[in-house]
Amino acid sequence: MPGEILDNQGRGEASWQWPSIHPEGRKFGAIAGVVALAGWILLGPWVGWPLAVLTLCVLAFFRDPVRVTPQDERAIIAPADGLVTLIGKVPPPRELTVDDGTGSAPMSSEPVTRISIFMSVFDVHINRTPIAGSVKRVIYIPGKFVNADLDKASEENERQHILIERSDGLRICFTQIAGLVARRIVPFVKPGDIIAAGQRIGLIRFGSRVDVYLPAGTEPRVLMGQKIIAGETVLAVLASASVIEGIAQ
């Protein structure tokens, strides 16, 4: 199925399949499996069974399912699985509003809409790019590990900013933020890389948040409390600023 074209007119074949385990997680699964086997042999099933379940949980955390990404230049795609917990107008990260000497123009400091996506340990943690384009900046910032669901996590926690620019000059910034349990942000891209919309760009271990900064004049197509899917859910449509309401039921 990867690479296959599917559409809203019935083209393509779709079927459920077991998600693969990302290579980044196989070593952790192997370590957990060895510990479980040793515990079973040395201490018996009453220790071995819980460790075996823990091994399955570790593998599940690093699952990497196939996603069908809408191919629409107006669409901004969700970079992370999770729950929309914050939507508001804020300035872009200050690290991206200054000249870094690379020749890449800094972002404006004018407030834009930020969407915060909280990932629990039960969500898929592979992050994907919201648009196609060139990676202009990847900025890692050490910090704290407070609850990623709090607004102050955007400024205080360990985080990594990624700036993507399309050929027409449109730029999108999003930030991977470590949380209480997450202790490592793992990038798959570097400045200069050319990436497609929905392409895998990194992951965060274990439980965290991703902030997306929309272009000026664009409002979200998702709601507070909505569960979204990385690489598939359309967060916003460019130059669309309508208000959308929802009902929890």
Is 208 one of the annotated active-site residues of the chain? yes
Q: What is the pLDDT at residue 210? A: 92
Query: What is the DSSP code (8-state) at residue 19?
Result: P
Q: Would you list the domain boundaries of the chain?
A: 20-64, 75-237
> Average pLDDT for consecutive 10-residue bins of the chain (249 residues)?
78 84 86 91 88 90 90 92 93 84 77 92 90 92 61 67 91 84 76 93 81 91 94 90 78
- Whole-model pTM: value is 0.85
Q: Of the listed 20, 208, 240, 242, which one is catalytic?
A: 208
Q: Is 174 exposed, middle or buried (0-12, 13-18, 19+ CB in 10 A)?
A: buried
- In CATH, the number for domain 75-237 is 2.70.70
Q: How far is CA 21 from CA 98, 216, 240, in A?
A: 38, 37, 37
Can you give the pLDDT at residue 61?
84
Return d(Cα 71, Cα 68) in angstroms, integer: 9
Query: What pLDDT, in 10s, does the model give residues 64-115?
Result: 999 999 988 899 999 999 999 999 999 988 888 887 777 677 788 889 999 9
Cβ–Cβ < 8 Å for 121, 61: yes
